[in-house]
């Protein structure tokens, strides 16, 4: 493989990427050309909000080609275009051969939830002492156990009796919370997501773990559950408050994650008409909010 590296001002990035695509680049990535310097620019918005800009002031565009000739030819053609003005070719160089599969796999080690409960990728052996194990490889859907919000939910599941509970995993991603609940004795489990790829991942991951659950789009969630788990983000969790609370049975638990410490009071106020939420755990600036539904409490 050979990579062609270009530096482009913000307003040229889209045209250059389109041209590289038309020139049959095998992949194109865009990075901050000023990363790791004082001029580095953060490009993300508040959770649930769009980023403040779509590319950096100066972007480094990297395109991969199968041969040095193809990379050089692409560079020559780009330089001749009027939209290349303000851009420069930084280099055309060979990409050293690597075992990419092994490199990717090495980034995912087993994750300990409790000393007895682990998330283990299929290329690792479960650690000695692990009594409950979710076998899960990184895929298209969120939820490998490496994010603190997922870990806090799973720790809550491991520490509470799930035996015979009807459980709803709302925003299931990979299905990791639903599978965790099943391994801890939950009975009838529904796992729902707005993303169809997440629904497919959940069904496949459940099958691979020998777990029975029903995965589907959000309207698959029907009736009341003893435990409702939702690891989404503060903004959608606020919108979903009446719906999520309507699915919690009297005396049942609502477990919310994806909330930053500074968003705690706002979430508690939104849920207060339905369920009194308390901070049950915190990790790396994220909180786990948990509340029980009192019998007779309003839900809509
Ligand atoms: C942070 S991931 C959590 C995945 C997994 N439950 C976990 O704990 O790791 C949030 C998931 O919620 C889904 N989601 C976001 N908004 C949603 C909504 N309004 N209704 C249902 N699912 C939603 C996303 O598609 C995503 O898969």
**Number of domains composing the chain:** 2
Is residue 34 within 6 Å of ligand 1 at its C-beta?
Answer: no
Task: State whether 187 and 288 are in the same domain.
Answer: yes
Task: State whether 141 and 41 are in the same domain.
Answer: no
Average pLDDT over residues 70-98: 95
Spatial distance between the Cα atoms of 112 and 116, rounded to a whole number of angstroms: 8
pLDDT digits (tens, 9 = 90+) for 115-137: 999 999 988 999 999 999 999 98
Q: Tell how far the Cα of 173 is from the centroid of ligand 1, in angstroms.
A: 5
Question: Is residue 102 situated within a structural domain?
Answer: no
Looking from the CA of residue 147, the nearest atom of ligand 1 is: 9
Domain of 208: which CATH number? 3.40.50.150
Is residue 176 within 6 Å of ligand 1 at its C-beta?
Answer: yes
How many percent of the chain have pLDDT more than 90? Answer: 81
Average pLDDT over residues 137-151: 87
Question: Is residue 299 situated within a structural domain?
Answer: no
Instruction: Evaluate whether 162 touches 227 at the Cβ level (below 8 Å).
Output: yes
Is residue 198 within 6 Å of ligand 1 at its C-beta?
Answer: yes
Q: Tell how far the Cα of 124 is from the centroid of ligand 1, in angstroms.
A: 27
0.90 surpassed by complex ipTM: yes
State the residue range of the domain holding 264. Answer: 107-292
Task: State whether 90 and 121 are in the same domain.
Answer: no
pLDDT digits (tens, 9 = 90+) for 150-159: 999 999 999 9
Is residue 236 within 6 Å of ligand 1 at its C-beta?
Answer: yes
Q: Tell how far the Cα of 170 is from the centroid of ligand 1, in angstroms.
A: 7
Domain of 74: which CATH number? 3.30.70.330
User: Among 156, 194, 259, which residue has the most ligand 1 atoms within 8 Å of its CB, making it the best to mutate?
Assistant: 194
Task: State whether 161 and 287 are in the same domain.
Answer: yes
Top-confidence residue, 100 or 128: 128
Task: State whether 92 and 163 are in the same domain.
Answer: no
Task: State whether 124 and 250 are in the same domain.
Answer: yes
The answer to whether residue 141 scores a pLDDT higher than 80 is no
Task: Give the domain-ending residue among 97, 124, 148.
Answer: 97
pLDDT digits (tens, 9 = 90+) for 29-77: 999 999 888 888 877 765 556 677 777 999 999 999 999 999 999 999 9
At residue 48, the pLDDT reads 57
Task: State whether 134 and 242 are in the same domain.
Answer: yes
Q: Name every residue whose Cβ is closer than 8 Å to that of residue 48 and which is 6 or more positions away in sequence.
A: 233, 234, 235, 236
Task: State whether 216 and 74 are in the same domain.
Answer: no
Task: State whether 150 and 272 are in the same domain.
Answer: yes
Per-residue confidence band for 297, with pLDDT thresholds at 50, 70 and 90: low
Average pLDDT, the chain: 92
At residue 45, the pLDDT reads 65
Q: In the chain, where does DSSP find H-type helix?
A: 13-22, 68-79, 100-105, 148-159, 176-183, 196-208, 234-239, 241-246, 264-271
**Rounded (10°) CA dihedral 175, 177, 183, 189:** -70
At residue 202, the pLDDT reads 96
Q: Tell how far the Cα of 194 is from the centroid of ligand 1, in angstroms.
A: 7
Top-confidence residue, 51 or 21: 21
Spatial distance between the Cα atoms of 204 and 72, rounded to a whole number of angstroms: 43
Q: Tell how far the Cα of 108 is from the centroid of ligand 1, in angstroms.
A: 21
Question: Is residue 278 situated within a structural domain?
Answer: yes
pLDDT digits (tens, 9 = 90+) for 204-251: 999 999 999 999 999 999 999 999 999 999 999 999 999 999 999 999
At residue 296, the pLDDT reads 66
Question: Is residue 185 situated within a structural domain?
Answer: yes
Looking from the CA of residue 173, the nearest atom of ligand 1 is: 27
Is residue 263 within 6 Å of ligand 1 at its C-beta?
Answer: no
Task: State whether 284 and 203 are in the same domain.
Answer: yes
Looking from the CA of residue 195, the nearest atom of ligand 1 is: 25
Beta strand residue intervals within the chain, DSSP E:
2-9, 27-32, 58-65, 88-94, 111-114, 117-120, 132-135, 167-170, 189-192, 214-216, 225-231, 248-260, 278-283, 286-292
Per-residue confidence band for 149, with pLDDT thresholds at 50, 70 and 90: very high
- Residues forming the annotated binding site for S-adenosyl-L-methionine? 150, 171, 193, 231
């Amino acid at each position: 493989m050979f990579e062609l590296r270009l530096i482009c001002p913000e307003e040229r990035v889209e045209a250059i990427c389109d041209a590289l695509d038309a020139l049959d680049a095998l992949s194109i990535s865009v990075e901050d050309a000023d990363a790791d310097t004082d001029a580095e620019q953060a490009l993300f918005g508040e959770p649930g909000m769009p980023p403040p800009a779509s590319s950096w002031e100066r972007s480094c565009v990297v395109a991969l080609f199968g041969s040095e000739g193809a990379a050089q030819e692409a560079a020559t053609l780009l330089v001749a275009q009027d939209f290349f003005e303000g851009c420069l070719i930084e280099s055309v160089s060979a990409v050293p051969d690597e075992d990419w599969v092994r490199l990717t796999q090495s980034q995912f080690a087993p994750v300990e939830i409790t000393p007895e409960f682990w998330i283990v990728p299929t290329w690792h052996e479960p650690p000695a002492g692990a009594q409950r194990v979710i076998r899960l490889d990184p895929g298209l859907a969120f939820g490998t156990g490496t994010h603190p919000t997922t870990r806090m939910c799973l720790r809550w599941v491991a520490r509470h009796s799930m035996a015979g509970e009807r459980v709803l995993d709302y925003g299931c991603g990979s299905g990791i919370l639903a599978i965790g609940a099943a391994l801890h004795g939950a009975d009838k489990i529904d796992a729902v997501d707005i993303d169809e790829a997440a629904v497919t991942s959940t069904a496949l991951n459940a099958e691979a773990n020998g777990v029975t659950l029903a995965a589907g789009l959000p309207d698959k969630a029907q009736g009341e559950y003893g435990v409702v788990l939702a690891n989404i983000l503060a903004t959608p969790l606020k919108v979903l408050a009446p719906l999520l609370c309507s699915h919690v049975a009297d005396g049942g638990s609502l477990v919310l994650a994806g909330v930053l410490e500074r968003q705690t009071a706002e979430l508690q106020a939104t849920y207060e008409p339905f369920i009194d939420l308390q901070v049950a755990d915190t990790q790396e600036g994220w909180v786990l909010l948990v509340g029980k539904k009192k019998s007779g409490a309003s839900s809509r």
